[in-house]
Amino acid sequence: MGYNDSLAGLASVQKAFALLDVVAAHRRGLAAKEIASELAMPLPTVYRLLKTLTLSGHVVHLREEGLYALGYKLHALDTSLRRQVGTPPAVARLIRELHQRADAAAYYAVHRGEDIVVAHVVESPNRPRITPMGFGFNDAAHATAFGKVLLAAMEAERRQGYLEKHGMPSMTSATICDPERFATELAAVRAEGLAIEREEFIRGASCLAAPVTTPAGQVVGSVAVSMDPAEFQQRHLEVALLLRDVASRVSRALRGTSLLDAGGAG
C-alpha cells in the first residue's frame, strides 16, 4: 500500500508516526531515500518530516553513515510510559519471585484503556521471555494465556468489540480462531480461574496464567509464566498452584492503590 492510497491526505503527525515505525524496524537506521521508498512517500516530504523529528530529538541523523535512526527523546517517552502503566514495586517483587520459584519467564499483564498490555516481565538467560512479549506488548490476546484471562472477564459486548477491532489471526496451527470454540475456551477459563495456552502464540512455548482481582472479584490483571512445551506438560500442575498463590498475593498488594482503580476502569 503506497503513499497515494495510504498516507495521502493524512495529517503530518500520522505521517511522522509512520516514518518512526519504518525507522524503528531497522536495526541500524535508514537513509532518507530508503524511508521514502518503504513508505512510497515523496522524498521532499520525507526530508521535511526528518528535519522536524531531528529537531525534536525523536530522530537522530547519523551523518557519517548517511542514515536516520531513532532519537534519544524516545527513551524519555519509554520511561514515561513505564511510569504511567505503573507496576508497583511490591508487584514487581512478586513477579520476580514467581520467575524464581517457577523457574520460568514471568509476566504481569493489565487492562490499559481498550488494550491488554504486558506491564512487567522478569526473565533470565536460561529462562528467556517469549519474543516479542516484552513491556508494552499488546497484541494477539486471543493467543496468549494472560490475554485469555482478561478477555474471559470482560462483559460480552466489550469482548466482542475488542475481538472485532483486533481480530483473531492464526499465529500458529494451534491458535483458536473460531469464535464459538474460543467462547467455549473462555468459559473454561472462567470456570477454572486459570488459562492455558499450548503453542498458540508461537511454536516452542506454552503458557499458564491466573487472574488478579479486586476484593469484589473484578479481574484487573493477570500473572503468567511461559516455558518449553515438554517441560510445561510435566510441570504445569505444580506451577498452577504457585501461579494461583502469586496472583492472590498480587491482588492483595494492589489493594488501596490508585492503580487498582485505574485498572478496573480500563
Whether 99 and 150 share a structural domain: yes
Check residue 82 and give its pLDDT.
67
Which pLDDT score is estimated for 207?
98
Q: What is the tens place of the pLDDT at every residue in 99-111?
A: 999 999 999 999 8
Here the CATH number for the domain that contains residue 16 is 1.10.10.10
Q: Are residues 111 and 199 in the same domain?
A: yes
Residue where a domain terminates, one of 12, 40, 71: 71
Full-model pTM: 0.74
Segment 237-252 shows an average pLDDT of: 96
**pLDDT tens, residue by residue, 249-262:** 999 998 866 554 44
Q: What is the pLDDT of residue 92?
A: 92
pLDDT at 10 over 90: no
Q: Is the pLDDT of residue 263 over 70?
A: no
Return the pLDDT at 6: 47
Task: Return the DSSP state at 47.
Answer: H
15, three cell numbers: 505521517
Range of the structural domain that residue 104 is part of: 86-265
pLDDT in tens, 57-89: 989 999 989 999 988 887 776 666 566 667 888
Query: Which residues does 158 contact at the CB level (< 8 Å), separation at least 6?
Result: none
- The model's pLDDT over 13-44, given as tens digits with 9 standing for 90+, comes to 788 888 999 998 888 899 999 999 999 989 99
Quick one: pLDDT band at residue 97, thresholds 50, 70, 90? very high
Residues 57 and 153 in one domain: no
Q: Is residue 77 part of a domain?
A: no
Find where cell 492464526 sits. 170
Check whether 143 has a pLDDT greater than 90: yes
Query: 115 has which bridge partners?
Result: 112
Q: Are residues 178 and 229 in the same domain?
A: yes
pLDDT value for 258: 55
Pick the closest to residue 18 from 39, 2, 36, 33 (CA basis).
39
116 & 65 share domain: no
CATH number at residue 185: 3.30.450.40
Q: What is the pLDDT of residue 225?
A: 98
Cβ contacts of 210 within 8 Å, gap of 6 or more: 149, 193, 194, 195, 222, 223, 224, 240, 243, 244, 246, 247
Residues 102 and 47 in one domain: no
What is the reported pLDDT for 136?
85
Claim to verify: residue 93 and residue 45 sit in the same structural domain: no
Q: Are residues 100 and 53 in the same domain?
A: no
Position 119 in a domain: yes
Say how many domains are in the chain. Answer: 2
Q: Could you tell me if 196 and 143 lie in one domain?
A: yes
Per-residue pLDDT of 145-188, as tens digits, reads: 999 999 999 999 999 999 999 999 999 999 999 999 999 999 99
